[in-house]
Every structure is written in C-alpha cells, then in structure tokens.
C-alpha cells in the first residue's frame, strides 16, 4: 500500500513541500484532498520527510496562520483548501498575504474532470458538478501573482517547484495551484526535479544610489519613512546609524520593529515630521503618507528604495518620487551608509550633528507626552495606560502581534519590543491576529506570543477555529482584546464626513456598537482555554502575567480589557 501511495503524484507533493522548507501545511480537507491525506499518512508511517499538518476549522485561520508563520520564520508557506468553496473562505486573508508579500502557495482541490469509472479519482458525488466553476482561479486572480492547474500527475512536481520559485521572487506574494483528483492519483515524476531557486535579492544601481545619497546629504530637513525594513533584523542597527549620522527623524509605520521606539529620533507613525521635510527617504513603505493628513511640501525631494518601487498592484499610486531605486533594503542600506559616510565632510558632519540635536529636542516633548499618557488615569488615555501595563508584564522575548485598529498608534508608542518581536499584518483585512498567533507560535515555540486586537478584529479572526487549532497543535498564545464594544473605526468616518449630520446630532451611529456584550472569557473556556475580564488599566499588568502563565501551561488565555466607550 505504501509503495503504491509513494508512486502517486500526491506523494511527490508531500516530499516537495518538505524539500521546499515548509514546516507546516495549514489544511482544511475535502473530498478532493484524499490522495494528499493518504500520502501524508504513508509518509508518517515511513518516517519520510513531510510538513506537519495543521487542521484548521476555517480557511481564513489557515492562511492567517501561514502569514504569521512566515512573518516569524521567514520561511515559504503552504495552505491547502477545498476546491472553490474553501478558496472563497480564504476571504480577506488572501488580501493580507498579497499586501504583506508573503511567499505562500495556496493549493486547492479541483473537482475531478471525468465520469469514466475506469479512471482513478473520477467523479463520485453530486458536489463534483456543483463545486466546479467556470473559472476557479478567478477568485484569486486579483490577489495572486501566478496560478496554474496540474494537468497530469507527472507534471505536479515541476509545477510545484515553479510555484515556490514564483512566490519567493520579489515582489513576493501568493500563488495558487489547483489539484484535480485524477492528477493527484496518477503516477508522479519518478525522480523529483531540482529546486528552482529564487533570484538573489536585488542590489541598487551604484550611480543611482550615490545620487540618492547626495540628495540626502544636501537636505536641510531630511526625513526617513519606513514600513518593513526591520523584517531583516540587521537592517535595524544600520538604519539607526544612518538616521543618527544625518540627524533625520524616522517616521515609522511599524509593520515590524524598524527602529527602536525609545530612540530619540523615533517619531512614531502618528506625529509626522513630514510637513517640514525638504527631502524624504522612503524605505519599504506601501503608502508613504496620506495627502489629506500630513504630506511633505510640494518641493520636497522624495527618494525611494524598495524591491517594488512603482507598486503596480495599487491602481492609484502617484506619489511624487524623484528617484526610485529598485533594491532590497537589506542589500542597499549598508551601501547607502557607505555612500553617506563618503560624503560626510567635516563641515557636513557639523551641520548634521547640530540638526540631530535640534530634531531630538523637538521630539523629546512628543516622547514625554507618550509617557504621560502611559501614566494617566484619564478615560481618554485608558488605551495607552492599559498598553503600557501590558508592556510591563511582557518578558523581553515575547512576540506581539498587533491588530488594534484605532488603538494602533497607542500600541506603537507604548509597547516597546526588540527587532523581530513585533509583527503587524500591514494590510487592512481584519481577522489576522488569532490565526496569525498560531503560525507565530508554531514558528517560534520558545517565545510567548501575544495577540493584541480590537473586539471587532477578534471576531473577524474566527476565534473558535483559531483556539481549536492552537490547542490541538500545542501552540497556545495570549489574546488581549482592547474591548471598546465598538467598531470605532467605522464610527469615526460618519462623524468626520458629517460633523453636523443626523448621526452626529442624535449620537446614533448605525451598526457600530458591538452590543450586547459577548463573554470572551467564557468563550476561551469553551474552547479549552481560559479567560479574564478586567475593567481598569490598573489591573492589566497582573492579568497579562496570569495569561502568560496559562499559555506557558498549554492553554490559550484571553484577557478582555474593558475600555471606556470611545
Ligand atoms: C475583513 C474586514 N471587514 C470589515 C472591515 C472594515 N472595518 C475596518 S475597522 C472596523 C472595525 C474594527 O473594530 P475593532 O477591531 O473593535 O477596532 P476599533 O475600531 O474599535 O478600534 C471594520 C469593521 C475590514 N477592515 N476588514
Ligand atoms: Mg472595537
């Protein structure tokens, strides 16, 4: 039986996933994954290399977990879902995989083609007609980089190799491979083809990089804007040296820890220094600024380093970049530092040093304001105070996943983490944190994992499914719900677009109040975990310490932090 299964294309798939470095296959099985389940069982029995399978009760959780795993491990990922229906259930997580540039191959069953009963895998259920679509790949077309169906068993291996190459080629992102049952059950490739390597990270054009350094060297008020530079941990100290050398504030969108949040040049994401900039350096930012909020002056010189400068997947992206250098910042930043040092004449160094003192003095009261909010007992500062208390409870190795929506800036300014220990999904499809936490915990089992989310985001994350997989896999984490009993983010625009409107006058913002209250602590217990509700920021520190202990013992713990209504 085992020999038979290992000859099938489905067995090639299991071996290929292991060989591509996929540690976990996040799966929700269906009628058409049977050959893969059989091959997985055979590989287990034989002790053959294979990824660990993670049963996910909802596909949104499966892909969120894969994204989290990648953010924490840097590895390519694989998800397997049931035909068109499972693909549709990926929902907003496929958008998150796209916008986070996650190298993930989504495998989906594909209804069998044939009714001929002498062909293995043939149709044997009414759903094989219902679940076949005119264009199954169309569901993902707007979000994926590439898709392909495996026509024959022996073609599976080269197609899977190609899929993993595509997803890991910059700009990275998801790919979709459809697996008809007949093909999975046909003989495989025999011998697996060699891995198709992704190209090495792009380096900057030397002349363009010198020009870019020159623009920064001559600027009076340079500002650095970053989003994900810290995904490569050694880039963090390099960026610190560049900012210190230039005396430039760092406007940090903080999808990762790009810059230490307690550094005097850290401007955070909220208090933008862009308005006074005469030169702006964009590093791995998807949306450099929001013109309606805080744009640099029209004559500011904007320069950029990114693997994907033009962002062609965003239809309207018309930021006035004077010099866009296509390069991976992990390669480009050390070269930029060198180029700046070469331009650092004693005269320039004096100017830059004086500017550094000036910028730090300007930012000092901003940092002081954040510390004041952390210590405040006022209702408006409750999120800051609660998050500062959370931060005090966290050990240095804890990894925080942030999906805090309108409290995002409060998390950014109050939760101080080392590089690699703060992950934001960097895209607006909510519901990432719960599934994401499973993936992060599987990738980094030694680290406590804490998801910080809004009450709305928590529910988008299909929490029953997420808690189930976390407990099944021994991947317990802590979830801290910033519970304002509200879709605050969906209420604010009603007020800002219609300040004198009917909704504002009646204090009635339709469908933004999450009442009646759900009992999240009880929900945690129903799913095999534990939970507590706290009414005051003063109780958060103790509750988070308790939750970390519960998670260390193998149970997920939810801390429901009741915040004042916004
Ligand atoms: C999948 C998805 N559905 C809907 C939205 C629209 N949306 C954006 S913010 C938000 C409310 C989030 O509520 P919560 O997590 O409690 O954060 P709060 O706004 O209260 O800070 C909604 C519904 C979205 N971004 N993603
Ligand atoms: Mg809320």
Give pLDDT, residue 452. 98
Give pLDDT, residue 271. 65
Give pLDDT, residue 360. 98
- The SS3 call for residue 285 is coil
Q: Which residues does 126 contact at the CB level (< 8 Å), separation at least 6?
A: none
- Which ligand is nearest to the Cα of residue 408, counting in written order? 1
On the question of pLDDT at 124 being above 70, the answer is yes
What distance in Å separates the CA atoms of residue 144 and residue 172, rounded to the nearest whole number?
10
**CA 467 from centroid of its chain's CA atoms:** 19
- The pLDDT tens digits of the residues spanning 372-383 come to 999 999 999 999
Q: What are the b/e assignments for 469-483, b being 16+ CB within 10 Å? A: bbbebebbbbbbbbb
> Burial, 293: exposed, middle or buried (Cβ in 10 Å; 0-12, 13-18, 19+)?
exposed
Q: Which atom of ligand 1 is nearest to the CA of 486?
A: 20
CA of 454 to the centre of ligand 1 (A): 8
Pairing of strands 449-454, 530-534: unpaired
Q: Which helix (H) or strand (E) holds 242?
A: helix 235-246
Q: Which helix (H) or strand (E) holds 267?
A: strand 266-268
- The pLDDT tens digits of the residues spanning 150-163 come to 999 999 999 999 99
- The SS3 call for residue 230 is helix
Beta strands in 67-125 (DSSP E): 77-81, 104-110
Average pLDDT over residues 420-448: 95
Q: Which atom of ligand 1 is nearest to the CA of 484?
A: 20
Instruction: Return mean pLDDT, the chain.
Output: 96
**CA 378 from centroid of its chain's CA atoms:** 32
What distance in Å separates the CA atoms of residue 491 and residue 489, rounded to the nearest whole number?
5
Distances in Å between the Cα of 121 and the Cα atoms of 31, 79, 189, 285 are 10, 22, 18, 47
Nearest CA among 185, 177, 287, 168 for reference residue 226: 287
Give pLDDT, residue 288. 95
- The pLDDT tens digits of the residues spanning 189-218 come to 989 999 999 999 999 999 999 999 999 999
- Which ligand is nearest to the Cα of residue 452, counting in written order? 1
Give pLDDT, residue 2. 38
**Which of 61, 452, 454, 566 for mutating ligand 1's site (highest number of atoms within 8 Å of CB)?**
454
Q: Respond yes or no on whether the N-terminal peptide bond of residue 170 is cis (omega within 30° of 0).
A: no
Average pLDDT over residues 505-520: 95
What distance in Å separates the CA atoms of residue 66 and residue 299, rounded to the nearest whole number?
42
| Structural tokens at position 417 | 């983490």
Average pLDDT over residues 304-329: 97
Pocket-forming residues, ligand 1, beta carbon under 6 Å: 92, 405-407, 428-431, 454-457, 460, 484, 486-490
CA of 488 to the centre of ligand 2 (A): 5
CA of 333 to the centre of ligand 2 (A): 38
For tokens 């024959």, the residue is: 152
Average pLDDT over residues 100-111: 96
On the question of pLDDT at 427 being above 90, the answer is no
């Amino acid at each position: 039986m085992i020999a038979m299964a290992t000859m099938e294309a489905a067995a090639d798939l299991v071996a290929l996933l292991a060989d591509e470095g996929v540690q976990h296959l996040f799966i929700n099985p269906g009628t058409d994954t049977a050959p893969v389940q059989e091959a997985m069982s055979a590989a287990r029995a034989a002790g053959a290399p294979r990824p660990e399978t993670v049963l996910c009760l909802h596909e949104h959780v499966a892909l969120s977990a894969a994204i989290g795993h990648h953010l924490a491990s840097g590895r390519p990922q694989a998800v397997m879902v049931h035909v068109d229906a499972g693909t549709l259930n990926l929902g907003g997580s496929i958008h998150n995989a796209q916008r986070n540039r996650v190298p993930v191959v989504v495998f989906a069953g594909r209804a069998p083609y044939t009714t001929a009963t002498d062909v293995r895998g043939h149709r044997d259920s009414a759903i094989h007609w219902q679940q076949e679509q005119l264009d199954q790949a169309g569901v993902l077309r707007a979000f994926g980089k590439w898709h392909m169906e495996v026509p024959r068993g022996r073609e599976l291996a080269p197609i899977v190799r190609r899929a993993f190459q595509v997803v890991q080629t910059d700009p990275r992102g998801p790919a979709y491979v459809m697996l008809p049952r007949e093909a999975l059950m046909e003989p495989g490739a025999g011998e697996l083809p060699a891995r198709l390597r992704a190209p090495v990270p792009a380096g900057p054009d030397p002349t363009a990089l010198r020009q870019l350094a020159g623009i920064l060297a001559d600027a009076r008020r340079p500002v650095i804007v970053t989003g994900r530079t810290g995904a490569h941990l050694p880039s963090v100290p390099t960026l610190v040296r560049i900012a210190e050398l230039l005396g430039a504030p760092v406007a940090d969108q903080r999808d990762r820890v790009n810059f230490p949040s307690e550094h005097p040049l850290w401007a955070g994401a909220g208090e933008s220094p862009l308005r006074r900039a005469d030169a702006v350096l964009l590093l791995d930012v998807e949306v450099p600024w929001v013109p309606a909020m805080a744009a640099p002056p029209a004559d500011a010189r904007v320069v950029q380093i990114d693997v994907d400068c033009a962002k062609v997947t965003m239809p309207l992206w018309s930021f006035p970049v004077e010099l866009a250098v296509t390069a991976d910042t992990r390669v480009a930043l050390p070269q930029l530092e060198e180029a700046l040092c070469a331009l650092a004449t004693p005269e320039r160094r004096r100017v830059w040093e004086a500017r550094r003192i000036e910028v730090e003095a300007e930012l000092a009261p901003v940092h002081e304001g954040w510390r004041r909010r952390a210590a405040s007992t006022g209702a408006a500062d409750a999120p800051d105070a609660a998050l500062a208390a959370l931060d005090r409870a966290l050990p240095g190795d804890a990894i925080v996943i942030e999906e805090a929506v309108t409290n995002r800036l409060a998390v950014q300014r109050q939760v101080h983490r080392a590089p690699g220990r703060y992950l934001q999904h960097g895209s607006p499809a909510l519901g990432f944190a719960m599934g994401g936490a499973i993936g992060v915990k599987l990738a980094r089992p030694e680290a406590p994992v804490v998801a910080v989310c809004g009450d709305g985001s928590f529910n988008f994350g299909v929490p029953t499914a997420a808690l189930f997989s976390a407990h099944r896999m021994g991947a317990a984490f802590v979830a801290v719900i910033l519970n304002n009993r509200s879709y605050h983010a969906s209420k604010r625009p009603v007020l800002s677009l219609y300040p004198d409107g009917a909704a504002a006058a009646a204090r009635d913002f339709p469908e933004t109040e999450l009442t009646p209250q759900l009992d999240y602590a009880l929900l945690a217990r129903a799913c095999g975990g534990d939970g507590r509700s706290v009414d005051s920021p003063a109780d958060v520190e103790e509750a988070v310490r308790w939750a970390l202990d519960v998670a260390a013992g193998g149970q997920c713990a939810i801390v429901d932090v009741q915040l004042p209504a916004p």
